[in-house]
Homo-oligomer: A and B are copies of this chain.
Amino acid sequence: MARPGLVEAVGQLDPWTGEMAAYALGWRDTSGAADPSASEGKGLRQALAVLSAEAVGARGRVAIPAAVAVELVHAFSLVHDDIMDGDPVRRRRAAVWCSYGVGPAVLAGDALHALAVRTLAETPGEQASAAVRRLSVALTSLVRGQADDLRFACLPWQGPGAVGPAAYRVMAEQKTGSLLGCAAALGAELGGAPTATVEAFDRAGRHLGVAFQVVDDLLGVWGDPKVTGKPVHGDLRHRKKTYPVLAALTGDSPAARELAALLDSTEPLEGENASRAAALTEEAGGRAAARKQTRKQLQAARTCLTGIRLAPIPATQWETLITYLLDRTS
């Protein structure tokens, strides 16, 4: 539903950054031709915005400026995160910085960031001002979450200063939850909902965000690379601090101790070592803890909206979305 609005927004960019933006959004290949093989992503954020507006009894289209803005913010964050993480692949294609260079990718991200704010700021209506304020708060949270995620790489697995599951949840709420919460809240806000309802959608979206991030981590270790499009054990090989591993390390079983020793060693975590780390994470209860955390967050998202009278069809669609988040395979 937000696609024409997104196309219109991107059309405001100069041709060069517009081309990079179209590539980042999965619309075009590097030659500027339509790229039917490319994935445009899940559209989760725009769906949340539209669905929330409908849930509070408004027409979905009132949420389109919000849907466009949050998708642009998401695209901006992916383009810049891939630079920061040195990640050469995004959605089975070369990341923007790999295709266009680091400098141009910085610029493309800046353009998407500025465009997101402008799209919402130029929306007519009395809610626009509060909406922009909300988006700007989400943007600062998102940056803070990314900072924490980068910082985690330098922190130890165990002992003083170690990253635990609780710190992970704070990071995930900021990095992923703040934008999902913002998407849901903006939809309700542009739908004319009262502040308490808007805040409830914000909190619900934050829980969805944490769940989303934990499921991402689960798929990164046990997902089918053919379906996820991500390399097998990629996060383990990069010793990324993911929820299942952090949860596994909280135990004191032999598996947890062996896992900790493996992660602390200077050996590369390739091939058999990576498989062993995955098996140990599961044996030490990390996989089960992550599944449990996902269900808990999704239940918390449901609870946030309890007591709010939602339109029946969008309420069912919210439930479908929650089930999808829990069971997704890519």
Query: Interface digits, A1-19 against B, CB 8 Å rule (1 contact, 0 not)?
Result: 0000000000011101100
* Interface residue total, chain A, C-beta cutoff 8 A: 41
Residues of B within 8 Å of A132, CB to CB, are 117, 121, 129, 132, 136
B140 and A107: CB pair below 8 A?
Answer: no
Q: Is A103 close to B, CB under 8 A?
A: yes
Residues of B within 8 Å of A147, CB to CB, are 14, 16-17, 107, 111
Q: Is A262 close to B, CB under 8 A?
A: no
Q: Is A258 close to B, CB under 8 A?
A: no
Copies in the complex: 2
| A107 interface neighbour in B16, B136, B139, B146, Cβ under 8 Å | B146
A121 and B102: CB pair below 8 A?
Answer: no
Within A13-62, the residues touching B (CB, 8 Å) are 13-14, 16-17
Which stretch of A79-87, A194-202, A227-235 is in the interface? A79-87
Q: How far is the CB of A193 from chain B (nearest CB, A)?
A: 19
| A103 interface neighbour in B86, B115, B136, Cβ under 8 Å | B86
Q: How far is the CB of A106 from chain B (nearest CB, A)?
A: 5
B144 and A17: CB pair below 8 A?
Answer: yes
By a beta-carbon cutoff of 8 Å, the part of chain A in contact with chain B is: 12-14, 16-17, 80, 83-86, 102-104, 106-107, 109-111, 113-115, 117-118, 121-122, 128-129, 132-133, 136-137, 139-140, 142-144, 146-148, 150-151
For the complex of A and B, list the 6 residue pairs with the smallest distance between their C-beta atoms, beginning with the closest: A84-B103, A129-B129, A114-B139, A118-B136, A121-B133, A121-B136
